[in-house]
Chain A
Amino acid sequence: MSLSLIKKLALGGAATLALTTAAYAQTVRVTVAEYSSKTQPYFEEAAAAFEEANPDIDIQIEVVPWDVLLQKLTTDISAGANADLSIIGTRWLIDFVEQGVAAPLDEYMDEDFKNRFIDVFLEPSVMDGKTYGLPVAASARAMYYNQALFDQAGVESVPENWEELKAAAEKIDALGEDIHGFGLQGAEIETDVYFYYAFWSFGGDLIEEDGTSGLDTEAGYQAARLYKEMIDEGLTQPGATANSREDVQNLFKQGNVGMMITAPFLSSQIAEEAPDLDYGVAAIPAGPDGERGTYGVTDSIIMFENSENKEAAWEFLDFIFTADWRQKFTSGEGFLPVNQEVAQMPEFTENEDLKAFTDLLPDARFAPVIPGWEEIAQITSDALQSIYLGAEVESTLDAAAAEIDGILQQ
């Protein structure tokens, strides 16, 4: 029995499936990251509307959980089985571009199309003057605070800098055993980012001008010491190293945490799950010199270089990046608008919470565009977890910085 016969037998099962799609001239497969339970219905709806307008194109939406998106893309690409379009974290884009996996989109884009976007969000997807991705989701970070706890503890104004934050955390923490001053994320994805909020406001840079890691600088030490002090003094929720972003957000929704830093989507979650929570959104605290930094994140949708249906794929991109569809997605998922026209809609301009985020955008920093950034983030997170668990600040950060320098020099 030859291999090809086996192959034919195996394909028999697939044949019936193939028949149903044969009626369409072109099939565009789109890999979509699942942000919430609304993601799939949204894209299915968009695809259906698009297919109605373009009967010769069939859109296949493949929804993938965020946690495994990079793994799936990697295995897909390695086997040449990737879709035509995919949502990716923009911080991965450099790897895709360097390996020739992502196709430049400039030939399809005219000035009008480009102007649909807010510059600051389109920029991270531009490399060597070419646009490789379109921002599909954007968020920045700001500080959420629990007004009720502030009132109870007698905190009169929202902390402006880290010193005030610590003082406020002390007062709030004294309210009770279950009440914690400052929610500190110490586990899973973006553990490093939670540290950068303080690191940036102390004047740190992730990559120094000489191309080495900035962790082993005074800013790094100060920021780490600040967090460690708060942990040691019991001002944070206990067990920081077991708490992912979702865990800390859950504590905030329950009204057990005074302050935390996170993305705008927490507002829409609170509206649904804890509508009675009395909270506010403010800027991330500033450092001693008044510096502050928020983390800007975009996810981009890219087109694969090996796609055989680039024209049809572009048609679909053009379609979902119209204002109406963008508005639907952005408000459903609780992201920041990336589209100029959407940003002007009253729904967004009149939203107090979102305003706090958009005000911070001039201070937004994005993950550095270097290959292997995921590995550096992992090293940083590991070092921070060690520190939160009791390791010495300077030596741990020095060791992490040395390891990162090794990667940077490659």
Chain B
Amino acid sequence: MSRISRKWRRTIFSWLVLSPLIVLVLFPFAVMFITAIKPATEVLRPTWWPSEVRLQNFVTMWEATGFGQALWNSVYVAVLSTAIALVVSIPAAYAMSRYRFAGRGFLQQFLLVSQMLSPIVLVIGLFRLVVWLGLIDNINSIVFVYAAFNIAFSVWMLQSYFSTIPKDLEEAAWIEGASPWKALVKVFLPLAVPAMVVTSIFAFINAWNEFVIALTMLRSQATYTLPIQIFSLVAGRYTVEWHHVMAAAFVATIPIAIVFAWLQRYLVRGLALGAVK
């Protein structure tokens, strides 16, 4: 009985401490949602409650903004670039955590430095690269760029996590006659799942939210990702349909929010064992 009441006390205290931040976090979502369900004629009035709830706005938004195509593009780019980043980062991180070799220090420094170059600083040069490859307005161009920009972080995360997995386990497998490959797949990788999940989440979010590169490389609505598509509803138009913009922004955040709710325990666990070494 007293244990339960202690937990309740802690619950009240915790929510009180968190409440200012929670209010600030939820505020933009409230603005988004309420603007999204207002009738077009009431959008400019700063009232909190619309005179009627217009859920059709979501339907008209879907049509008016070409949302489906942009959603698909975003998913395609985020999934593919995450997969590429992971596929090249896992072996690299494995090598860096298991072997000492000449050039390892250089590699580590290169990764740290490349982490510091943000796309906006490089955008002029990146654009020339993509043109040279003939990939302008091709959605695959940004897949490669995102994958490359995610490598530094992914290798670093995975490497520090891999180092926490004792080498004995693989060696034991070798002694039992397993090939290095089999030891890797059967023994090592299953243990590394949390780190891979965390890394993918980071890579996925970066790709999902990226703006400047997509803005520069993509040309037609058929290739736009969600941030660009929504930005184009606001930028420099002679009139902005705010209820559509907010409806689109709201719907665009839902998939990620669900992924978060689902995976957040992995997120913390993976970081706990990995991040710092």
Consider the complex of A and B and state whether they touch directly, i.e. have CB atoms less than 8 Å apart: yes
- Which residues of A are interface residues toward B (Cβ below 8 A)? 7, 10-11, 13-14, 17, 31, 34-37, 40, 60-69, 71-72, 75-76, 78-81, 189, 246, 249-250, 253-254, 263, 265, 269, 273-274, 333-334
B220/A72 in contact, CB under 8 A = no
SS class, residues of chain A in contact with chain B: helix
Q: Is B231 an interface residue (CB 8 A)?
A: yes
Cβ contact within 8 Å between B220 and A65: no
What is the CA–CA distance of A79 and B125 in the complex, to the nearest angstrom? 10
Q: Counting CB contacts under 8 A, is B240 at the interface? A: yes
Which B102-150 residues sit within 8 Å CB-CB of chain A?
123-124, 127-128, 131-138, 140-141, 144
Assess whether B232 is in contact with A61, with CB atoms less than 8 Å apart.
no
Measured in the bound complex, the distance between the Cα atoms of B64 and A249 in whole Å is 23
Binding site for A on B (CB under 8 A): 40-41, 44-45, 64, 123-124, 127-128, 131-138, 140-141, 144, 215-216, 219-221, 231-233, 235-241
Interface of B is mostly: loop
| Leading 10 A-B pairs by shortest Cβ distance | A66-B236, A67-B236, A79-B131, A67-B235, A65-B235, A13-B140, A62-B219, A65-B232, A81-B131, A75-B127
Q: What is the bound-complex CA distance between A60 and B137, given in angstroms?
A: 12
Contact: B44 with A250, CB < 8 Å? yes
A273 to B239, CA, bound (A): 10
Complex contacts, B235 vs chain A, CB 8 Å: 65-68
A295–B240 alpha-carbon span in the complex (Å): 23
User: What B residues does A64 contact at CB under 8 A?
Assistant: 219
The smallest beta-carbon distance between A34 and chain B, in angstroms, is 6
Nearest residue in B to A29 (C-beta to C-beta)? B219
On whether the beta carbons of A40 and B221 are closer than 8 Å, the reply is yes
Q: Write out the residue numbers on chain B whose beta carbons fall within 8 Å of the beta carbon of A40.
A: 221
Known: A63-B221, A254-B44. A269 touches B239 (CB 8 A): yes
Interface centre among B64, B232, B241 (most CB of A within 10 A): B232
Residues A81 and B136 in contact, CB atoms below 8 Å apart: yes
Q: In chain A, what residue has the closest Cβ to B231?
A: A65
B138 to chain A, nearest CB (A): 5
B135 partner residues in chain A, CB cutoff 8 A = 10-11, 13-14
Shortest CB-to-CB span from A387 to chain B, Å, is 25
- A189 to B237: give the CA distance in the assembly, Å: 12
| Known contacts A10-B133, A78-B128: A253-B44 contact under CB 8 Å | yes
Instruction: Say whether B236 contacts A269, CB under 8 Å.
Output: no
Task: Tell whether, in the assembled complex, residue A37 and residue B241 are in contact, meaning their CB atoms are under 8 Å apart.
Answer: yes
Residues of B within 8 A of A63 (CB): 220-221, 232
Q: How far is the CA of A43 from the CA of B223 in the complex (A)?
A: 17
Q: Given A37-B64, A75-B124, A79-B128, A62 and B240 touching (CB < 8 A)?
A: no
Pull 6 A–B residue pairs with CB atoms less than 8 Å apart, ordered by A.
A11-B133, A13-B138, A14-B134, A34-B232, A34-B237, A81-B136
Instruction: Please tell me if the beta carbons of B140 and A35 are within 8 angstroms of each other in the complex.
Output: no
Would B236 and A34 count as touching, CB distance under 8 A?
yes
A36 to chain B, nearest CB (A): 6
